Amino acid sequence: MSLLKYESQQREPLVGGNKDYHQVTEDIIGPIEMKPSRLWYIGFYLSVALLLFGVYSVYREVTYGIGQWNLNKTIGWGWDITNFVWWVGIGHAGTLISAILLLFRQGWRTGVNRAAEAMTIFAVMCAGQFPIWHMGRVWMAFFVLPYPNSRGPLWVNFNSPLLWDVFAISTYFTVSLLFWYSGLLPDLATVRDRAKTKLRKLLYGVASFGWTGSTKHWQRHESLSLVLAGLSTPLVLSVHTIVSFDFATSIVPGWHTTIFPPYFVAGAIFSGFAMVQTLLIVVRKVMGLQEYITLGHIEAMNKVIVLTGSIVGCAYLTELFIAWYGQNPYEWYAFSQNRANLFSPYGWSYWLMMFCNVVSPQLFWSRKLRRNITVTFFMSIVVNIGMWYERFVIIVTSVYRDYLPSSWSTYYSPTIWEIGFYLGTFGLFFTCFFLFAKYFPVIAVAEIKSILKTSGENYKVKMTDIEKADAEKFYSEEVEHAH
């Protein structure tokens, strides 16, 4: 028996049960070939219904104008931009898992990366809706692109963070899509080669681009994945940095701070991982993938959640301290009165955010709770509520009282169509995710196979026996040979 790669036997197996390569294919591709369950139909139709409600809400906004929303004189960005930042943030976990963890050679990534990347793409699709429809006259949306036009040509302002956002989000979407799809090709070819019906053969044949599994192709594929990971890593950091510039480059109290980029990126990863947990806990249960998305995977993601949650907490306290230390009366007013004062109109949202994002994730210092599915699922929702409120707090509490007390606005609460639009993006997100879970391999089959012999439970058991039997002989023959 020769080892291609050695992994310590102390490590928890990443693939449970007694598996061989074929069994991995069966377990992951099998559900695609079956009729969808009743639960799937219920979930799918519910999502489509939400999506349609969203479409109708947007229809009203386009037909009657932005007045359909409760935005007012000082609150020009309400729920809409809150939702935009929230969705973009959620996308970040997918890229972190697939790109950054690939560069760090984290084997556990293989179980969750496919679904997380899909989540990224759908979340960015949802995020993109908000700035586009917020334009009001959406038929002018192409004005954000620098194209030769008959007005001069009058170009876009390349110095504006809002334009940087256009480039950042569209690049992020394109690169994530390419990364995801190039990784899917070999797995779609697996589905194609197992297909029984003509329609499946046709569709998966088209989708898999004629992939054969040739060694040369794999070699290029590996190179491609590595470089795309290397590109996506700074890209994902740049995207939320640029989103934070939308705020940080302004002179609005509460926005004008240099801490925003790292703080936004940490928050994005925090909420993204929470969303991955929400989705995967359901997926592993419904599709019976507990042996691929193990408690070890969930624990690893909870560790990321407690880390990034604490970074976010640190950032909250830092900006509070700097607001006081900076001695700018407007800045300090925004923090001490508009936010931290529990009895101010939006004080409740600030403390809700503090509780959800800073206090509650501290539960995950306990190993027992990190490995508890119910707690994790509950926490993943709490974190996403908290992160939504973070964006709400930043946007609304900074602008509802500006420099001129006479224009301080009355209490802002969204209209049904604003809420409908937000719910609609949930519909879009889950419609896409349900279709993905039904028609695509939700776990990267080829990648699981490549770690099976080092991290599969049955192989690990075997290895432990060999090691125990004659440790010295084992190391000289296997480990040194492998290096």
Partner 1 sequence: MAGGIKKFVVGSFSDEAVLFPAVKNVRKAGYKIHDVYTPFPVHGLDHAIGLRETSLHTAGFIYAITGTTTALSFMSWVFTKDWPLNIGGKPHFALPAWIPITFELTVLFSAVGMVLTFCYLCQLSPFVKKHHFHPRATDDLFVMAIECTDKTNDAEVQSFLEKAGAKEINIQVAETGWWIGRYDREQKLYREEKGY
Q: Which of residues 162-181 bind partner 1 (CB under 8 A)?
A: 163-164, 167-168, 171, 174-175, 178-179
- 212 or 407: CB nearest partner 1: 212
- 152 or 329: CB nearest partner 1: 152
Q: CA-CA distance, 344 to 135, in Å (whole number)?
A: 31
| Residues 251-310 interacting with partner 1 (rule: CB under 8 A) | none
Contact pick of 17, 146, 326, 347 for partner 1 (by CB under 8 A): 146
With contacts defined by CB under 8 A, name the span among 97-105, 201-209, 265-273, 422-430 that binds partner 1: 201-209
- 191 or 399: CB nearest partner 1: 191
238 is a site residue for partner 1 (CB under 8 A)? yes
Nearest to 293 by CA among 94, 33, 52, 112: 112
Contact pick of 9, 182, 344, 360 for partner 1 (by CB under 8 A): 182
| Site string (75-114) toward partner 1, x via CB under 8 A | ----------------------------------------
Contact pick of 159, 327, 374, 406 for partner 1 (by CB under 8 A): 159
Contact pick of 139, 142, 158, 343 for partner 1 (by CB under 8 A): 158
Distances (CA, A) of 170 to 177, 235, 431: 11, 11, 21
- 95 or 129: CB nearest partner 1: 95
478 is a site residue for partner 1 (CB under 8 A)? no
154 is a site residue for partner 1 (CB under 8 A)? yes
22 is a site residue for partner 1 (CB under 8 A)? yes
37 is a site residue for partner 1 (CB under 8 A)? no
458 is a site residue for partner 1 (CB under 8 A)? no
211 is a site residue for partner 1 (CB under 8 A)? yes
Note the helical H segments in 400-456: 416-439, 445-455
30 is a site residue for partner 1 (CB under 8 A)? no
Count residues near partner 1 (CB under 8 A).
73
Sequence-ordered list of residues with C-beta below 8 angstroms from that of 92, at least 6 positions apart, any chain:
120, 236, 239, 240, 265, 268, 269, 272
Contacts of 402-406 spanning 24+ positions with Cβ under 8 A:
402/74, 402/252, 403/330
Nearest to 278 by CA among 183, 353, 385, 177: 385
What is the residue whose two structure tokens read 């930042």?
85
Q: How many CB atoms lie within 10 A of CB 73?
A: 12
149 is a site residue for partner 1 (CB under 8 A)? no
Report helix, strand or coil for 15: strand
**Cβ distance 276 to 119 under 8 Å?**
yes
Task: Give the shortest CB-2-to-partner 1 separation in angstroms.
Answer: 5
Q: CA-CA distance, 143 to 81, in Å (whole number)?
A: 19
Helix or strand (DSSP H, E) at 77: none
**Cβ distance 121 to 114 under 8 Å?**
no
